Structure 1
């Protein structure tokens, strides 16, 4: 009985040891996450969005010198209050606030100057802004096309060009593009949106190669849509005619939580990863199918469009 006692305790001891190792690992990673961004000047665009707020909270707790950008001053002030009310001023810095509206491209030069006036340079730029649209191609006006391109492409690219010279002179910096997976994989009724996301993806990939010699890291984080609300259960009376197309579409539009995406952005900055895809298996597989079997993917997506049109006509 005495000899059997140690063997009985083996499993509990292993569990306790494993739990202890995991706890130590998480604490070390948490400490490293804070220390790696501590005192860094971090600019976040659209900081008042769900994702922007989550990023602001993470970087603020990590001791970063935040420059929070957004188009609504009242919301920026509310975010400022939320970050500073319970913060320890010995460990954190009060954020700087800058009005930034990518729909007003004439103001971009002043915005760049105001951002650089805060600290004189930028260590990390998180480009988070985005404008979405779902509509058939023929119903999208040229004016709306231009607005989407301003918000999703010309705005971020112009901001990057303005903030890049100090990074080059200091030979350091990290630029993060938070982009939709539709910058790599287009789906129907998102023509203007997908086009703008493809454009900005290409810009950042070119930029990555051009600035590598200066020690500047350029990262792209491609995700499915950001789901800030709890998923609702919807019962359909009849299954869609094309089950495969419907399943792929549901997976492509399966959102990620802002907190999960914000953590991924923080890890991308800490580990200097250049390319991240945050998506479920089906969108990941679709990316490979797009390259290896494009005709198959085109046929499936087109069939899904025909089925959706038929369903609407029958209602």
Structure 2
């Protein structure tokens, strides 16, 4: 990754922040994006080579602005070698209680924001002979759990879209990796949306039981280097992927009553 231009969304916290540090340590040139400009500058100041890091604030929900943001990002270094779509928002609400506006916001941020931004950088990548697009999905992009209906839908949608896109741009040397983290030690639940769209504001898990964001970022970069199409990262919760495939009824029964945080 040395001297590669990498654009990371959702870089102000969690997995995105950890990826920023990991890519910086690898010698990459970075563009860091999220809504929180102040936090992006905090991350930049904590990097070893801040001179090679540019801040570009954006809001994934404002899809009409993302094409212009992509042009701005490309102008910084002249090209983009890799786009890591890490920006997103979670959910903690029952489907029957969740407003359509909240559901649309989850889809706009997690799915449409990622799609629009990726399509905006693709022509530049193709013109330069290739590139990489990474989408941070989730284990619930492979199966659904309670309190996450629209969040799970947005992540499932990523898989359908980018699996299809991969086959369409493969001959143009565009590599696409879908990353499915499980329980990672981040503050994602604090900003998760409730039924009416407000912040959940509760850390609903024991962070000591989870993989660190730094370890997650390390495994993500290993998967990218290996050109993996899809990777599952986490602890014992990853086993649910195989249960879904081979024993779907058993997993369904378990998830009806299990405390899933």
State the TM-score, normalized to the length of structure 1. 0.71
Which residue of structure 2 lines up, in the alignment, with residue 259 of structure 1?
214
Assess if the C-alpha contact under 8 Å between 1:64 and 1:93 holds in 2: no
Task: Give the C-alpha shift of residue 93 in structure 1.
Answer: 4.6
Which residue of structure 1 lines up, in the alignment, with residue 36 of structure 2?
72
1:297 and 2:251 matched: yes
| Greater Rg by CA | 1
Which residue of structure 1 lines up, in the alignment, with residue 198 of structure 2?
none
Distance, in Å, in 1 between the alignment partners of 2:41 and 2:254 is: 47
Distance, in Å, in 2 between the alignment partners of 1:267 and 1:48 is: 22
Task: Give the C-alpha shift of residue 294 in structure 1.
Answer: 2.3
User: Out of 118, 127, 131, which is 2:89 matched to?
Assistant: 131
User: Out of 128, 135, 138, which is 1:177 matched to?
Assistant: 135
What is the CA RMSD across the aligned residues, in angstroms? 1.9
Assess if the C-alpha contact under 8 Å between 2:14 and 2:186 holds in 1: yes
Structure 1 residues 26-62: Cα deviation after superposition (integer angstroms, max 9, x where no partner) = xxxxxxxxxxx11101000011112222211111122
User: Out of 242, 248, 252, which is 1:288 matched to?
Assistant: 242
Gaps of 5+ in 2: 188-204
Task: Give the C-alpha shift of residue 176 in structure 1.
Answer: 0.9
Which residue of structure 2 lines up, in the alignment, with residue 274 of structure 1?
229
User: Out of 27, 46, 67, which is 1:63 matched to?
Assistant: 27
Distance, in Å, in 1 between the alignment partners of 2:45 and 2:214 is: 20
Distance, in Å, in 2 between the alignment partners of 1:163 and 1:191 is: 30
Q: Are residues 65 and 294 of structure 1, via their aligned partners in 2, closer, same or farther at CA, if it must alter by over 3 Å?
A: same
Which residue of structure 2 lines up, in the alignment, with residue 54 of structure 1?
18
Task: Give the C-alpha shift of residue 300 in structure 1.
Answer: 2.9
Assess if the C-alpha contact under 8 Å between 1:63 and 1:93 holds in 2: no
- Aligned pairs for 1:215-254 (under 5 A) are 215-228=173-186
Task: Give the C-alpha shift of residue 119 in structure 1.
Answer: 1.6
In the alignment of these two chains, the number of paired residues is: 239
User: Out of 118, 122, 135, which is 1:164 matched to?
Assistant: 122
Task: Give the C-alpha shift of residue 206 in structure 1.
Answer: 1.2
Gaps of 5+ in 1: 1-36, 230-249, 309-315
* Greater helix proportion: 1
Distance, in Å, in 1 between the alignment partners of 2:253 and 2:129 is: 47
User: Out of 151, 168, 177, which is 1:193 matched to?
Assistant: 151
Task: Give the C-alpha shift of residue 97 in structure 1.
Answer: 1.1
Task: Give the C-alpha shift of residue 296 in structure 1.
Answer: 2.8
State the TM-score, normalized to the length of structure 2. 0.85
Assess if the C-alpha contact under 8 Å between 1:148 and 1:196 holds in 2: yes
Distance, in Å, in 2 between the alignment partners of 1:120 and 1:173 is: 14
Task: Give the C-alpha shift of residue 286 in structure 1.
Answer: 2.4
Distance, in Å, in 1 between the alignment partners of 2:152 and 2:11 is: 23
Structure 1 residues 120-170: Cα deviation after superposition (integer angstroms, max 9, x where no partner) = 211111110111111111110000001000110000010000000111122
Structure 1 residues 253-301: Cα deviation after superposition (integer angstroms, max 9, x where no partner) = x6321001110122122222222111324x3332222223323322333
